[in-house]
Amino acid sequence: MTDAKQEHWDEVYRTKAADSVSWYQPTPGPSLHVLDELQLPASASLIDVGGGASSLVDRLVERGWSDLTVLDIAAPALDVAKARLGDEALRITWLVADVTAWKPDRRYDVWHDRAVFHFLTDPGQRLAYRHALETGTARGSIMVIATFAPDGPERCSGLPVQRYDAAALATELSSAFALEHDWREEHTTPGGGRQSFQWCVFRRR
Ligand SMILES: C[S@@+](CC[C@H](N)C(=O)[O-])C[C@H]1O[C@@H](n2cnc3c(N)ncnc32)[C@H](O)[C@@H]1O
């Protein structure tokens, strides 16, 4: 299962320019905005789960964040980000892993997931994701998550997705995580399409 998923995503990043994929953002605006609102210190640790070639870590390095990790199933995605960052890439931990098979060996202050959890259409995969999430966070850790909203697309990158509103995400994450803030975003794709996203901020109890 992991092999087929990995091949799919490797192929995506090998064949498409990073700024042409539907989820591309010139600036990771909602993520930066929410991290600013939370007033987290630059010493906070953050993992971008399924971070792909996102420029979130570029912007956080610029802001002085010093404990950053990007995990993705697709090594070619991380290669794009590393090439873009140059020497700054050495300041980031890069992990090639399927989050549903990954066993974190440390805990993070912030777990960031934009458009990854919604690919887990099987309850067993979601359970495995939650195991990783619970191992990789501690009491007080923040989870910032964005999925397609109920009126968002039914597929992304050719794969089916599960769509959520804030209440459904809270139910998925169980009582271990308290919902602190939620909002919707209309993302504009590079092709000019519109996609409804549901964003949530949870704090681990
Ligand atoms: C829609 S893209 C979003 C990328 C990035 N978060 C962003 O906002 O630009 C989904 C990303 O999740 C990664 N991914 C998909 N399934 C994964 C899994 N099971 N474990 C880790 N990464 C995964 C893909 O390789 C891809 O980079």
Interval 60-94: pLDDT, tens: 999 999 999 999 999 999 999 999 999 999 999 99
Average pLDDT, the chain: 97
Q: For residue 159, report the distance from its CA to the centre of ligand 1, in Å.
A: 12
Q: For residue 118, report the distance from its CA to the centre of ligand 1, in Å.
A: 10
**Token pair for 13:** 């990043």
Amino acid 85 reads: L
Phi-psi label, residue 185: left if phi above 0, alpha if psi -120 to 50, beta otherwise: beta
Q: What is residue 9's predicted lDDT score, i.e. its pLDDT? A: 97
| Contact assessment for residue 40 and residue 109, using Cβ atoms and an 8 Å cutoff | yes
Q: What is residue 174's predicted lDDT score, i.e. its pLDDT? A: 82
Q: What is residue 97's predicted lDDT score, i.e. its pLDDT? A: 98
What is the CATH architecture of 1-18+29-132+157-162? 3-Layer(aba) Sandwich (3.40)
> What is the atom index within ligand 1 of the atom nearest the CA of 9?
25
Kindly list the protein residues whose Cβ atom lies closer than 6 A to any atom of ligand 1: 5, 9, 23, 50-52, 54, 72-74, 77, 98-100, 114-116, 119, 156
d(CA 44, CA 61): 12
Q: Given a cut of 60, is residue 1 above it in pLDDT?
A: no
Residue having the nearest C-alpha atom to atom 10 of ligand 1:
116
Is residue 105 packed enough to be buried (19+ CB in 10 Å), middle (13-18) or exposed (0-12)?
exposed
pLDDT tens digits along 174-195: 889 999 999 999 999 999 999 9
Q: What is residue 47's predicted lDDT score, i.e. its pLDDT? A: 99
d(CA 69, CA 152): 28
Q: Which mutation among 2, 8, 9, 144 tests ligand 1's pocket best, with the greatest number of atoms within 8 A of CB?
A: 9
Q: Domain spans of the chain?
A: 1-18+29-132+157-162, 173-205
Percent of the chain with pLDDT over 90: 98
Q: What is residue 187's predicted lDDT score, i.e. its pLDDT? A: 98
